[in-house]
Amino acid sequence: MAEKKMKRILCIEDEQEMIDLIRLILTRRGFEVKGANGGKEGLETIRTQRPDLVLLDLMMPDMDGWEVYQQMKADEATRNIPVIVVTAKAQSIDKVLGLHIAKVDDYIAKPFSPQELMNSVDAVLSRKK
């Protein structure tokens, strides 16, 4: 059996502390975590690196998460990469409804526990097989 390749996760987030926290939680569990500061850099990284999973913040100054998501899904090469939206709880209910319409793979509300993050990542990646 071939050695299991490390899964690559891209965290698109405008707060460096959040990227560091997510990296800390996920690298301990054997994932390779890259951070992208904001939507534009995130989209660029998705196109060049093709991660196994994207953790996507919605509220970013340069390009919001929905814009990144729509551009990913519009592109043949990146359309099948699963996306977990990581969003502040305070955001309105229509964002949450949008998740069901947009068909993201999962979403996590901030603040979240390390276990919550792991459960979501494991669930989404195991569905992808």
Domain residue ranges of the chain, discontinuous segments joined by + = 8-128
Orientation of helix 114-128 relative to helix 16-27, angle to 10°: 70
Question: In which residue ranges of the chain is pLDDT below 50?
Answer: 1-2
- CA-based torsion, 82, 54, 38, 40: positive or negative: negative
3-state SS assignment for residue 57: strand
% the chain with pLDDT above 90: 67
Question: Taking the complete model, does pTM exceed 0.75, yes or no?
Answer: yes
**CA dist., res. 53 & res. 55, Å (int):** 7
Given CATH 3.40.50.2300, say whether it is the number of domain 8-128: yes
* Those residues with Cβ within 8 angstroms of residue 29's Cβ, 6 or more apart along the chain or in another chain: 118
pLDDT value for 66: 87
3-state SS assignment for residue 81: coil
Rg value, the chain, Cα: 14
pLDDT value for 2: 46
CA dist 66 to 37, 59, 95, Å?
15, 9, 10
